[in-house]
Amino acid sequence: MNLNSKIFTTAQVVLSAIMMNAQSSTKKLPGDPTLVSSKATLDKLISYDKGNFKYKVEDYFARPKASQFKISPDGQYLSYKEKDKDMKNHVYVKDLTTGKITKSLVEKDDLIKSYGWLDKKRLFYTQDKGGNENIHLYAADIDGKNLKDLTPFEGITLGSVRLIKDTEFVIVTMNKNNKQIFEPYKINFNTGEMTQLYENKDVNSPIDDYLFDKDGNLRGYIVLENGLTTKTYYKDLQTGKFNLLKSTDWKDTFSIIRFNDNSDNKDEAYAVSNLDSDKTKIVLYDLKKNAVIKEIYSNPTFDVSSISVAGKNRNYELDYISYTGIKNETIPVSKFYREVHDKLASEFGDKQFYIASSDDNDTKLLVVVDSDKLYGKYYEYDTKSKSIKLLFDLMPQLKEEDMAEMRPIEFKSRDGLTIHGYITMPKAALEGKKVPLIVNPHGGPQGIRDDWGFNPETQLFASRGYATLQVNFRISGGYGKEFQTSGYKQIGRKAMDDVEDGVKYVIQQGWVDKDKVAIYGGSHGGYATLMGLIKTPDLYSCGVDYVGVSNIFTFFDSFPEYWKPYKEMVKQIWYDLDNPEEAKIAKEVSPVFQIDKIKKPLFVVQGANDPRVNINESDQIVKALRGKGFEVPYMVKYDEGHGFGKEPNRLELYKSMLGFFAENFNK
């Protein structure tokens, strides 16, 4: 994890053993535990996945023996996660001089979500409770001592964390004083001493983000006025006054990435903008003059929004621009990175690679290499000697020659839009056999997209002979403002049309068996699963709803407090329930009100502590369908949230899902 990044982007609405004892502890558990399927029911489901398969679920979804390698700032230590016999992933630190290995961070009941280096002797990590997303920031010495919860408050969550390099301070934003809004605090990561840096007073027009320079000085902030207008304020360095720089509609993008510390002009910054274009692009901007200095990079087809900048050792020069196109693309800029990129490209060919970690002097780079058929390998690249050596193969049991091809596709929607997506093809499909298909709509739905690379889900499905279709339907991100906004107020309608058109396209290509098509997704993808079974019941054989919305009305009512400032946006993305005409549409595309149209088998999966899609969403659809005599297997994990993070739960989920697909494809 890059410490200078958002841990949880609140503006983007995405939208077991305890279970066995549910009957004796119903008062303590979320939702209605009496609805949850028995172990015997789920075990029977698992039993349908029969065959002489080369790979097991564990081969794809057991966590690697070691992972998340990072170099310390001074290059003396290598840190990494290592899994023990109980499937806990502890953080270890290896002294590269002496070879001594120390267990630094111990994972107990709750997952260590992310971790990294604060300085050469201290680590950070983030953690919540059972997937509730009330994330805390912790710090500890490399020997595990001096452990401190840097945000020791009940019911809060982190918005962002920024390390002030070469100091003992981080700046965090959290909703400590008001659960709906975030304020910045400067924290000494050695002592835990905390200072609030700014007050966020107006809950109706709160500050949505803060702009700090590399030295930790507040230089600007972004106000979300009445939920729909974004106002960027910038500090005049002479007067100290914060002046209005930009006022834009929330659907437009003007976002300051970071200051250009390579320049003598203290008002110069890199920004992402689509104010005069459909696609976002990188520009160099003078914040005092409120003017573009020059365009850095743009692409005619895809949004561009990411850059990487060197550290103090190379005077903060711009190293490269990156974006997601058909595949992940990197555009080298600096001489240093161009040489690195050319060397890695010559070594790894058409595989994707990125720098996961480096020391402050860029002497040692940890490079991750992957592809659609390669889960990932870590390499160490010495920029002085130009030598590359393999550090760790994350999933050595998965042989590239056995993995399925992930093929980019492009087709026209029924109303003429160009839609992009991917199909993962098992070998039988490449040999001309028509295979079963799993349609996998992504979450979000807005601003999210599927991309090319190794996908354990689609590879697992391919190991059973199933193709997987992923459609970047209208409202998906990365394809420009017009494409994304064309899906607003079309959730459950034209967005679903695009998915259906994708299914028809791959059927026409002769790749899949039209009588064996399933639909499965998480979050919005779970909602799309329910809507697919309702809207086109003859298209699908069955569906799996994983933490999906079933009732738009109760979904809106259950938003966590820190989503509430964005409710006006959600009305423009989904539907305005205060508008009678739109409320009528919302009811028509809320699956719980359309259960009579569901005729095909459904499997529902939920994390009980999910703050985004409350367990009530899954309970409702299960209860309603069972009320009309329609049996629905229902898996709930009471130590999980919006998706399963713990290895035993993930393994049970995918074993059950494979059994469910096998049962229904073989009917």
Q: What is the mean pLDDT of the chain?
A: 95
Q: What is the distance between the alpha carbons of residues 363 and 74, in angstroms, rounded to a whole number? A: 10
Q: Name which of 274, 634, 292 is nearest 477 in CA terms.
A: 274
Q: Residue-wise over 459-473: b if at least 16 C-beta within 10 A, else e?
A: bbbbbbbbbbbbbbb
Alpha helix ranges (H) inside 291-402: 335-348
Q: What is the distance between the alpha carbons of residues 304 and 299, in angstroms, rounded to a whole number? A: 7
The string of pLDDT tens digits covering residues 475-520 is: 999 999 999 999 999 999 999 999 999 999 999 999 999 999 999 9
Label residue 27 by pLDDT band (50, 70, 90): low
Q: Is the pLDDT of residue 290 over 50?
A: yes
Report percent pLDDT > 70 for the chain: 96
Mean pLDDT of 168-180: 97
The one-character DSSP state at 373 is S
What pLDDT was estimated at residue 464?
A: 98
Q: What is the distance between the alpha carbons of residues 127 and 6, in angstroms, rounded to a whole number? A: 15
Q: Is the pLDDT of residue 7 over 80?
A: no
Q: Is the pLDDT of residue 76 over 50?
A: yes
Angle, CA of 241, 246 and 252, to the nearest 5° = 150
Q: At what angle do helices 39-47 and 647-665 cross, to 10 degrees?
A: 60
Q: What is the distance between the alpha carbons of residues 558 and 550, in angstroms, rounded to a whole number? A: 12
Q: What is the distance between the alpha carbons of residues 290 and 219, in angstroms, rounded to a whole number? A: 14
Task: Kindly report the pTM of this predicted structure.
Answer: 0.94
Residues found in the chain:
667
Phi then psi for residue 70, to 5 deg, are -145, 145
Instruction: Collapse the DSSP code of 397 into the 3-class scheme (helix H, G, I; strand E, B; otherwise coil) and give the result.
Output: coil
Mean pLDDT of 352-375: 98
Mean pLDDT of 144-164: 96
Question: How many CB atoms neighbour CB 94 within 10 A?
Answer: 17
Q: Is the pLDDT of residue 344 over 60?
A: yes
The string of pLDDT tens digits covering residues 369-423 is: 999 999 999 999 999 999 999 999 999 999 999 999 999 999 999 999 999 999 9
Domain boundaries, the chain: 407-666
Mean pLDDT of 441-470: 98
End-to-end CA, the chain? 45
Cβ-Cβ contacts under 8 Å for 416 (sequence gap 6 or more): none
What pLDDT was estimated at residue 284?
A: 98
Label residue 121 by pLDDT band (50, 70, 90): very high
What pLDDT was estimated at residue 607?
A: 98
Q: Which residue has the higher pLDDT, 667 or 99?
A: 99
Q: What is the distance between the alpha carbons of residues 411 and 389, in angstroms, rounded to a whole number? A: 41
Q: Is the pLDDT of residue 639 over 60?
A: yes
Cβ-Cβ contacts under 8 Å for 375 (sequence gap 6 or more): 394, 395, 398, 454, 456
Which range is least confidently modeled, 15-24, 144-153, 408-417, 614-623?
15-24
Q: Is the pLDDT of residue 188 over 70?
A: yes
Q: Is the pLDDT of residue 11 over 60?
A: no
Question: How many CB atoms neighbour CB 617 within 10 A?
Answer: 29
With left for phi above 0 and alpha for psi between -120 and 50, is residue 155 left, alpha or beta? left
What pLDDT was estimated at residue 667?
A: 76
Alpha helix ranges (H) inside 474-523: 481-485, 494-508
Q: Is the pLDDT of residue 126 over 50?
A: yes
Question: How many CB atoms neighbour CB 423 within 10 A?
Answer: 24
Question: Which residue is it, tokens 């279970």?
Answer: 19
Here the contacts of 241-249 (C-beta below 8 Å, separation 24 or greater) are 245/220, 245/287, 245/290, 246/290, 248/275
CATH class of 407-666: alpha beta
Across the beta sheet with 136-141, what order do the strands follow? 114-119, 122-127, 136-141, 148-149
Q: Is the pLDDT of residue 192 over 60?
A: yes
Whether omega before 426 lies within 30 degrees of 0, making that bond cis, reads no
Cβ-Cβ contacts under 8 Å for 577 (sequence gap 6 or more): 552, 553, 556, 571, 583, 586
Strand partners, 468: 424, 438
What pLDDT was estimated at residue 26?
A: 45
What pLDDT was estimated at residue 453?
A: 97
What pLDDT was estimated at residue 28?
A: 81
Q: Is the pLDDT of residue 619 over 90?
A: yes
Q: What is the distance between the alpha carbons of residues 562 and 174, in angstroms, rounded to a whole number? A: 10
Which residue type does 300 have?
A: P
The one-character DSSP state at 568 is H
Alpha helix ranges (H) inside 544-614: 552-557, 567-573, 580-588
Mean pLDDT of 617-626: 98
Label residue 15 by pLDDT band (50, 70, 90): very low
Strand partners, 5: 161
CA dihedral of 519, 523, 527, 528, whole degrees rounded to 10: -40
Q: Convert 206-262 into a string of H (helix), E (strand) and C (coil).
A: CEEEEEECCCCCEEEEEEEECCCEEEEEEECCCCCCEEEEEEEECCCCEEEEEECCC
Q: What is the distance between the alpha carbons of residues 657 and 438, in angstroms, rounded to a whole number? A: 11
